[in-house]
Structures are given as C-alpha cells and as structure tokens.
Amino acid sequence: MKTTHRSIASLTLLALTVALVATPSALAVDEGWTVSFSEAKAEAAKTGKSILMEFTGSDWCPPCIKLHKTVLVTDVFKTEAPKHFILLKLDSPRDKSKQSMDEISQYRKLSAQYKITGVPTVILADEQGRPYHRQSGYGGDPAEKWIGDLAAKSTILAERNEFLSKADQADGVERAKLLDQAISLIDSELAIGTYKDMIAEIITLDADGAAGLKPKYEGAVQTAEIKSELQKIQQTLRNSTPEEVLVKINALLEEKKPTGEGLQQALYLKSMITYRTDKDAAKVILLEARAAAPTSKMATGQIDRVLQQVFKVEPKK
C-alpha cells in the first residue's frame, strides 16, 4: 500500500508539473486578459464586445512597460476596459521561457496579418477579428483618458457596420461603393491585409473600372505587396553590399512594374541606398520617387523633408 501511495503521489506531482509547463502563459498573463485569439473571438461573439489586442514587448520595450504600469494595471482600466472589450495580450518578449509554442507562433502570424511594425500597438477588432482602429506607441495619457478614447472609437465600428448592412441590400457597383465606404473608414494598409474578401469583391463588381474602385484597390494591393517585398530586402542590408541591394530592388521593379505609391516606395529605398555611393544619382531617383505619387503622405512628408534637408531642394507648393 505504501508503494501505491507513493506512485499515486508521484503521478499527481508529474501531472501538475506537465500542466504548469504546458500552460505557462496562463500564469504570466495579467488578470482579465487572454492570450488566445480564438478564445477572444468566441467571447466577443458571445458578449457583443470588441476585441482589444495589445501587441507588446513586455520585457524590453520602454513604451510598452510604461503603458503597462501607467494604464493596464490600474484600477480604472481593470474596471472600465472589460465593459467595452475582450482583452487579448499578444506579447513578444526577449525571454520566451514563460510562453507556449502556440503563443509564440500566434504572435508571428497575427503581427504579420495586422501589419505590426512596432510596439506597443493596439488594434480594436470585431468578433471576427476584422479591425476598425489601430494606434501605435504610448503618449503618456492617464488610464481614464486612454481607455475613454479607445471606447469612443466604437463610432467607427457602428458606421462601418451601417455601410455593410446597406451593402447587403445592394447589388453591382452600388454594393461595391458601399463596401468601399465601409473599408475606407479603416487604415488603408491594415484594411488590405484583413478585408481581402471584400476588396476582391469590390474589384470584381467594378470590373470595367468605371466607378474608379478597381484601379484604386488594385493599386493599394500592389503597394502593400511592394512594401512587403521591400521590407524583406531591407532585412538583408547588414549582410549585403549596396550594389547587391540595388540589384534586388531593380529586379523587383522589373518584375512587378509598380506604379503610384508602390513605385514611390521602391524608388525611395533605391535612392537611400544609392546615396552611399553617388549622391547626385540619389537626388535624381528621389525626385522620380516624388513624381510617382506627388500627393501621397510619403511625398509631402518624408520625401520632401529629405529633399529639403539633405539636397536643399524646396518642396513643391
């Protein structure tokens, strides 16, 4: 009997150990938060609340740590946030020993899907995970204002849903226009990655481009693809010579033949790489980049600043 008791005790201890190893994130995550996207969507569907996704780097990102201490663990946040949102923490710490493999894999997938380029980033999404608001960084707002501002974004969701409801009652180009109005409320880059089915339908419904929607969305999709390819090229900068990087950019331009903002982004990177060896040529390429989409945010912001500060070229009025 003593042996049996020891065996049972040993098995019980083993079971507890396995459980702790298998689900470390359940111990590490703050009260009121989940780390499972599927669980968050299920809970949002059941309660009618939106999902608040926090992409963070909890042990290395200063703004993330400040947001956590100033807002996310305060009593006002713990009281008010659950009234509006299902809370989903998506963490990418340096020390991943307290995370499961599923959690690590989930972060990689969702950060790509939602175009996360820096943390902290907060996404508000509906029960299907379709986003309607994104904000990055933390400006220091107190918890009450921070959560109040996010809750106020529900007006975007309501307006989006109104357009989608009207689209369900429409056909043809009229439906395409209503879908466009719904998607246009969302950050364009974010929408391209998460409203793919709607965008494909808009392009199909405006097959001849008469409503201007087909070229609009085909251009936006191409720009997103070019940006993704350029990011891959940028990741090779440390291990490549400028000449090797330029070969990759030129190959991309030849293969995709981008126009508008896609072309602009490729030429901007090409100009920055060329500047290392030929400043005059870099200036010419940068001017070409600006001309590719002269009214874009990149043209009137980043490119104009470089032209003015580096090349002493005054921006066009």
Q: Kindly report the pTM of this predicted structure.
A: 0.81
pLDDT value, residue 29: 62
Decide the pairing of beta strands 131-136 and 33-34: unpaired
Which band of pLDDT confidence, cut at 50, 70 and 90, is reported for residue 130?
A: very high
Q: What integer pLDDT is reported at residue 140 of this predicted model?
A: 96
Question: What does the pLDDT look like over 162-171, one tens digit per residue?
Answer: 999 999 999 9
Structure tokens at 59: 């042990």
Residue range 11-70, pLDDT digits in tens: 444 443 433 333 333 334 678 999 999 999 999 999 999 999 999 999 999 999 999 999
The rounded mean pLDDT for the chain is: 90
Q: What share of the chain is helix, strand, coil (3-state, %, to 5)?
A: 65, 10, 25
Give 225's DSSP letter: H
Note the pLDDT of residue 95: 96
Bridge-based pairing of strands 85-91 and 50-56 is parallel
- The mean pLDDT of 193-210, rounded to a whole number, is 96
Residue with tokens 């109040």: 148
Tell me the C-alpha distance between 292 and 306, whole Å: 16
φ, ψ for residue 51 (rounded to 5)?
-100, 130
Distance CA 256, CA 262 (A): 10
> What pLDDT, on a 0 to 100 scale, did the predictor assign at position 193?
87
pLDDT digits (tens, 9 = 90+) for 220-258: 999 999 999 999 999 999 899 999 999 999 999 999 999
d(CA 289, CA 266): 8
Does the pLDDT of residue 146 top 50, yes or no? yes
Residue 8: pLDDT over 90: no
pLDDT above 50 (res 2): no
Among left, alpha and beta (phi > 0; psi -120 to 50; other), residue 278 is beta
State the Cα–Cα distance between residues 134 and 113, nearest whole angstrom. Answer: 13
The fold for domain 21-152 equals: Glutaredoxin (3.40.30)
pLDDT at 82 over 60: yes
Tell me the residue type at 283: K
pLDDT by residue (tens digit) across 257-276?
A: 999 999 999 999 999 999 99
Alpha-carbon span 286 to 299, nearest angstrom:
10
Q: Which carries the bigger pLDDT value, residue 5 or residue 97?
A: 97
Q: Which of 1-15, 66-80, 163-177 is least confident?
A: 1-15
**Helices of type H across the chain:** 2-22, 25-28, 37-47, 62-67, 75-84, 101-113, 143-152, 154-167, 172-183, 188-194, 196-205, 213-234, 242-256, 260-274, 279-292, 297-298, 304-309
